[in-house]
Every structure is written in C-alpha cells, then in structure tokens.
C-alpha cells in the first residue's frame, strides 16, 4: 500500500517521465540483476538473465495531465490535455506546472453568477478554463514556458475496505505490481529470464511499449493495466467489474488465447479471484502494440478494476492488486506451459 | 492560525470545531466570552475610555458544504448541498464526512457512457460520494444519514503571496477579528462569530439582538471575478486591490456615513482600498441592520476568487488591508460615525 501511494505521488505525464522513470529505476535496482533505461525513457529490469525462456511483464509509467498552451498578459495560463481528460473534473482542481520551478495553481473558469442561465447548465470547455498561479505574467514567464507539463495535485487517501483514492493509479498500480513481482520472483527458481518493462507514453498511443518490446524480444508478454470498475450508472451489460472482484483477465482477438488460458488455469488452481474481461477490439492498452512487435509476441492482459479513471480520484482496491500479482507470479512459477 | 481555521470543519449548523478553536484564543484576549443558544460566539473587549457606545464586528464561522441524505444499496452516499455550491466544481473532489472524518470522493456519470449528453452539467442529484463501502450496511458503519461533509482541501500559500484553501469565506473574517482582538481600543468592542450565514444569515440577527450595538461592521470574503472570460464590469472586486467596502448588495445598503469613515480610514493612512462594484451576494449585514429598531451597519470584505469551491484564493495583502483599515477605524476616539 505504501509503495503504491509513494508511486502515485510521483509526477510524470506522457513524454515527461524522467523524474518518475529515475525513481522507478532506483527501486528496480534493489531487486533486479540488471537495470537500464533506453533511448525513449523506458526502464528495463532483468531477473535471471540467460535462462531458457524469456517472459516480459509490462506496465506503463506515464500518467495523464495537461500542457501549457499560452500565458496571457495577466499571467493566467491556458492549457491543453495530454491523454484523455474529462473537462467536468477540472474546475477547482489543483495542479503543479513543471517549468524551471514547480509552480502551484488552481483551475478557474467564468464565475457562475456572471453566466447566462443557458451557460450555467453546461460543462465548462477545456479551452475556456485557465490556471491561476497567483503570479503576474512577467514573474511567471521567468518560471514557466509554453510546452511545460502539468500534473494534478491529489494526496493519496485510504478509503474503507482497503481502497486507495489518488491521482495516477493508472498506471502506477501496474508499476507497483512489477515491483511486487520482482520481490517475489528474485529468489524463486523458475525457467524464465523475467524482464520488467516500465514503459513511457502509453496514454498518447502506446509508444514506449513498442520500442521496449522490440529491444527485449520476449517469448511472451504479460501486460498489467487498469480497467473500468462498476460505479453508479454503469450497467451489468457494460464490461465493468466491482472493486474487490479480483484480477480482470482479458480475452479477445488481440490477445493470445493459449497464454491467457494458461493464466486463467493458474487463477483457478490457486483459487485467486478473477473475472474475464471481453475485449472485442483494441484493448486500449500496451498489449495492443506489443502483440504486433517484431515477428509477433503473444500477449496476455491482466487488469485491476479502477473507478473514476483519468481523474484526480482514481480508486482501486488493494485486494484486486494483490490478485493481479498472485496470478502473474503463480503463472511464472508454474512455468506457463502453452 | 489561518491554516488551522481554513482546514477546520464547520459547515452551517455544525460550527462547533471552528468555535472551539476561536473560543480558546478569545478566552485569553477578551473580558467576556459567551456562546448563545444558536452557537454564536460573543466576545466583549472593554474599551479604555468607558464610553457608553459599543461597536460590533462580526464574521461568520460556517462554510458551504454537504449533508448526507441517503445511502444506495451499493454503499454510495447521496447528498444535498448546504449553502450555494455550483455542482460543476464537485466532480472528482474529495470530501470529509462527519465526526469520524471519513474520507470520500465525489463521483459523476462516467463520460464515456454519456455520449452527446456529456456537455450537460451534472446536477447534485446525479452525483454521489464514494467512501469505499461495500453496501448500505457497510456504509452506515462509518457514517450516518444527516452527517455533514466539507471539502477536503489543504491550506496553501502560493504565487505572489496568495493563499488557497476551503472555507476562506469566511474564516478570513474570523482570522481578522482574532487579530484585532489582540488590541485594546477606546470603545467597547464586541467580536461576534456567527453561525448559519450560508443558509440565510440566521445566527447574526440573534447575536445582534443580544449585543444591541450602536454600530456594526461585517467582515467578509466576497466574490472576485477579475479573471479571464469575464468583462471588467463584472469583476466585483480586484485581487490585491485592498479591502472592498460595500455600497449595497442583495441584502442591505451599507450606512453611507459609516462606510465613508471606513474609506477615509484607509485613504488617510495610505492603505489600499476599493469599493465592491457589483451588487451580487448578501451577508450577515442583511440580518444585522434590521435588528430591533435598526443598526447602522457597514460591510468590508477580502476579495476571494473561486469562492464556495474547494480552492478559494485570496491575497495576504488584502487581508492585511482589511485589518489595517479596521484597526485605524477602531483607534479613533470620538468617531465621526457616531454623529447621526
């Protein structure tokens, strides 16, 4: 839990993962035999180098965020999004702008009492909102510039029933699983060279995973990410899972059937709670990119259900995170015979 | 102190925590401290001259927030707003609920399921609070129906000496009164901390009836709309423009001679001051000035951007300006404001 909370406090929007990448590299070094960062910023850790078969466990490092688009004459900052953001969550949100200094700001919009009745029934559009940093334009331009990246401020909170509420659980949850698997596998005798890939730029198109998988060229890959959890207004026919229902193991045309079945068998055998997630097309995860790398890499996708995805209050259940780790380590310990 | 006041829990009707903090300070500063039946805190600091006229300064302790109105079968909390809150600031914000200070976050309709309707702003009845409960019985272990909730927002100083926090309306006023109470002035001064302002200025009238002051000054936080997408005519006040003196709003006219004396106290001492330039909003003056046979009342406010949101923003310079104006006014021995 503490590990996940620490990871969520780290800051790294797609394309700007250097700080979180460095920190994660430091953690990988504690448990791996060999660690490197590649040219795009992916962090790669290896346990059991040279063993007969190679499995890659992958999760993305980056988080959604914003970018400075314009600083107006009064010092208000206009911004655009990096990754998918729901503008309805922005008014009143707090942010850090990462420039020459890290600058705090509040997202504002036209005050409600000055709006027409029609305006006030609509959500604010992203281009109508701005960040108030409390600095004049002159002072601010010494500290930040157009193109600087912006993260949300959200102190992780522990809710009831082992649930954590924070920014960027998508996908620091995945990174925390990688670290947990390292701890468990580093002294376990397996057939595998296990390679851990913490990839960049997933939220803008699964870019880091593509070059990372090319370099590592594993026999197969297990991708760890988040999936939508059940909340009010979702229906039983939606592919959503209640928090606490275990790991969501994806099936569908873009995922390797034999590998997936092997993982499901491990879950059944070890009585690890899981649900089957149906992905009829693009899973929207790095698995989509990895599967078609080089001569093709068989992929499985295991997710933890997440509420309020891409907001400052993403919520995950630690029991589900544990189930994800259990099923991955279990499958590797059993040798993945597929 | 402002950090402690801003982060304290005090939704209208549940001001106890804020009152205890202020009371503890006031006990050592004032000559008499009392809490009335509604929860208003009334503190008297006697003057040096034994004049028979009294001045009352008020600030309200309560803040806007929420009350838990129901629990769904799945364990989510339904709520109503207490005081005026634009539902558009609620999505994905954290709240603190009840005496146990249970943390929750506010959920909304998922945008990817909304399709074309996603431009339409949510109303409070679409929103819910998630505390991580498994179902209704589990939820009721941590909270009760009728519990109050406030925003979860840390006080922070930032920018070119600004502050950000919840409930700056009107903990800023409470803070200024606390600071003024450290001084002794020629006249008797009542420092009054009121309840239930945000739901209709209900505490102030009762407190005024007890105090029966000759003049009253309401110390508030008010709208400040000097932001993009807004015409200058709608600014109301300007951040860093100094204390804002009201001429009128929806609840009262300030007594012209009293507000002129306040304005003069600023100008003659080189203190930044401005007039509030819109008539939006109302405050405790509405209740105070119509108490008994009428009380001569004025309002002075600290400009506050994003008021009634989890992230209210104000300027430390403006807070100091309001303090200095009032300090200079109170130091005046025979005040022009008496001559009516």
What is the Rg, in whole angstroms, of the alpha carbon atoms belonging to chain A? 21
Which of B110, B119, B138 comes nearest A231 by C-beta? Answer: B110
Which position among A63, A193, A202, A277 bears the catalytic label? Answer: A202
- ipTM score of complex: 0.89
List Cβ neighbours of B210 (8 Å cut-off, separation of 6 or more).
B36, B42
Contacts of A157 in chain B (CB under 8 A): 94, 103, 105, 152
Distances from the Cα of B175 to the Cα of A35, A254, B60, B86, angstroms: 54, 61, 11, 26
Contacts of A91 in chain B (CB under 8 A): 86, 88-89, 309
φ and ψ of A34, to 5 deg = -150, 135
- CB contact (8 A) between residue A93 and residue B92: yes
A73 counts as catalytic? no
- Retrieve residue A195's tokens: 């390679």
- Retrieve residue A222's tokens: 């297990």
Domain boundaries, chain A: 2-63+167-334, 65-152
Question: What per-residue confidence (pLDDT) applies to B80?
Answer: 96
Residue of A nearest to B89 (CA): A91
Question: What per-residue confidence (pLDDT) applies to A239?
Answer: 81
Say which CATH topology domain A65-152 has.
Answer: Elongation Factor Tu (Ef-tu); domain 3 (2.40.30)
Residue of A nearest to B151 (CA): A92
Which of B89, B111, B228 comes nearest A76 by C-beta? Answer: B228
- Retrieve residue A174's tokens: 């995945």
What distance in Å separates the CA atoms of residue B159 and residue A104, rounded to the nearest whole number? 7
Distance from CA of A191 to the nearest CA of B (A): 40
Asked whether the predicted pLDDT for residue A27 surpasses 50, the reply is yes
Which residue is associated with the tokens 């945000």?
Answer: B198
Contacts of B104 in chain A (CB under 8 A): 159
- Retrieve residue B293's tokens: 């046979």
* Structural domains in chain B, sorted by start: 2-63+166-338 (3.40.630.10), 65-151 (2.40.30.40)
- Retrieve residue B304's tokens: 């506050």
Distance from CA of B311 to the nearest CA of A (A): 6
End-to-end CA distance of chain A: 33
- Report angle CA A234, A235, A239 to the nearest 5 degrees: 85
A:B CB pairs within 8 Å: 171
Say which CATH topology domain A2-63+167-334 has.
Answer: Aminopeptidase (3.40.630)
pLDDT in tens, A229-266: 999 988 766 788 999 999 999 999 999 999 999 999 99
- CB contact (8 A) between residue B227 and residue A108: yes
Residue of A nearest to B141 (CA): A160
Question: What per-residue confidence (pLDDT) applies to A113?
Answer: 85
Q: Are B271 and B242 in contact (CB under 8 A)?
A: yes
Is A257 an 8 Å CB contact of chain B? no
Which of B111, B228, B309 comes nearest A86 by C-beta? Answer: B111
What distance in Å separates the CA atoms of residue A254 and residue A287, rounded to the nearest whole number? 8
- CB contact (8 A) between residue A134 and residue B159: yes
Q: What is the pTM of this model?
A: 0.92
Which of B72, B113, B280 comes nearest A234 by C-beta? Answer: B113
List Cβ neighbours of B233 (8 Å cut-off, separation of 6 or more).
B277
Question: What per-residue confidence (pLDDT) applies to B340?
Answer: 45
In a structure prediction context, what are the per-residue pLDDT tens digits for chain B, which is 340 residues long? 999 999 999 999 999 999 999 999 999 999 999 999 999 999 999 999 888 789 999 999 999 999 999 999 999 999 999 999 999 999 999 999 999 999 999 999 887 776 667 788 889 999 999 999 999 999 999 999 999 999 999 999 999 999 999 999 999 999 999 999 999 999 999 999 999 999 999 999 999 999 999 999 999 999 999 999 888 888 999 999 999 999 999 999 999 999 999 999 999 999 999 999 988 889 999 999 999 999 999 999 999 999 999 999 999 999 999 999 999 999 986 665 565 4
Which position among B15, B63, B197, B198 bears the catalytic label? Answer: B197
């Amino acid at each position: 839990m503490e590990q996940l909370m620490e990871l969520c406090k780290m800051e790294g929007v797609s394309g700007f993962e250097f700080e979180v990448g460095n920190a994660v590299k430091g953690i990988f070094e504690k448990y791996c035999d060999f660690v490197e960062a590649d040219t795009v910023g992916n962090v790669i850790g290896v346990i059991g180098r040279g063993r007969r078969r190679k499995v890659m466990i992958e999760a993305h490092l980056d988080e959604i965020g914003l970018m400075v688009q314009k600083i107006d004459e009064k010092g208000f900052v206009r911004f655009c999004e990096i990754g998918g953001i729901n503008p309805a969550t922005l008014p009143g949100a707090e942010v850090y702008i990462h420039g020459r200094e890290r600058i705090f700001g509040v997202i504002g919009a036209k005050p409600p009492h000055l709006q027409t009745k029609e305006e006030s029934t609509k959500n604010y559009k992203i281009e109508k909102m701005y960040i108030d940093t409390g600095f004049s334009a002159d002072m601010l331009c010494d500290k930040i510039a157009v193109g600087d990246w912006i993260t949300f401020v959200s102190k992780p909170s522990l809710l009831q029933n082992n649930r954590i509420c924070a920014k960027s659980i998508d996908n620091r949850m995945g990174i925390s699983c990688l670290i947990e698997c390292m701890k468990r596998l580093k002294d376990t005798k397996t057939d595998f060279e296990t390679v851990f890939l913490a990839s960049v730029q997933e939220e803008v198109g699964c870019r880091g995973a593509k070059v990372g998988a090319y370099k590592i060229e594993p026999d197969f890959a297990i991708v760890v990410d988040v999936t939508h959890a059940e909340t009010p207004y979702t229906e039983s026919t939606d592919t959503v899972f209640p928090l606490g229902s275990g790991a969501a193991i994806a099936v569908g045309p873009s995922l390797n059937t034999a590998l997936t079945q092997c993982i499901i068998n491990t879950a059944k055998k070890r009585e690890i709670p899981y649900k089957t997630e149906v992905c009829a097309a693009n899973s929207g995860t790095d698995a989509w990119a990895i599967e078609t790398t080089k001569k093709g890499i068989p992929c499985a996708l295991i997710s933890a259900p997440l509420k309020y995805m891409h907001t400052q209050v993403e919520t995950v259940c630690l029991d589900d995170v544990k189930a994800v780790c259990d099923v991955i380590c279990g499958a590797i310990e059993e040798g993945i015979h597929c | 102190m402002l950090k402690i006041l801003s982060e304290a829990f005090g939704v209208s009707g549940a001001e106890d925590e804020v009152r205890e903090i202020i009371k503890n300070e006031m006990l050592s500063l004032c000559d008499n401290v009392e809490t009335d039946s509604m929860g208003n805190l009334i503190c008297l600091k006697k003057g040096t001259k034994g004049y028979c006229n009294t001045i009352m300064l008020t600030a309200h302790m309560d803040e806007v927030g929420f009350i838990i109105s129901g629990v769904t079968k799945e364990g989510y909390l339904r709520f109503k707003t207490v005081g005026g809150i634009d539902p558009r600031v609620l999505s994905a914000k954290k709240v603190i609920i009840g005496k146990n200070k249970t943390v929750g976050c506010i959920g909304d309709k998922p945008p990817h399921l909304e399709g074309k309707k996603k431009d339409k702003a949510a109303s409070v009845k679409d929103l819910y609070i998630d505390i991580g409960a498994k179902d209704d019985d589990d939820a009721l272990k941590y909270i009760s129906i009728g519990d109050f909730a406030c925003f979860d927002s840390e006080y922070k100083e930032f920018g070119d000496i600004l502050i950000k926090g919840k409930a700056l309306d009107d903990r800023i006023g409470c803070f200024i009164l606390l600071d003024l109470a450290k001084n002794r002035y020629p006249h008797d001064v009542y420092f009054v901390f009121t309840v239930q302002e945000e739901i209709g200025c209900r505490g102030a009238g009762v407190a005024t009836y007890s105090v029966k002051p000759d003049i009253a000054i309401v110390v508030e936080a008010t709208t400040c709309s000097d932001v993009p997408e807004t015409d200058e005519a709608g600014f109301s006040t300007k951040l860093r423009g100094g204390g804002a003196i009201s001429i009128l709003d929806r609840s009262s006219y300030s007594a012209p001679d009293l507000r002129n004396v306040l304005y003069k106290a600023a100008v003659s001492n080189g203190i930044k001051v401005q007039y509030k330039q819109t008539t939006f909003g109302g405050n405790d003056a509405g209740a105070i000035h119509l108490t008994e046979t009428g009380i001569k009342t004025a309002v002075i406010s600290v400009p506050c951007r994003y008021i009634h949101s989890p992230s209210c923003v104000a300027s430390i310079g403006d807070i100091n300006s309001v303090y200095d104006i009032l300090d200079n006014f109170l130091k005046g021995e025979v005040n022009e404001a008496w001559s009516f």
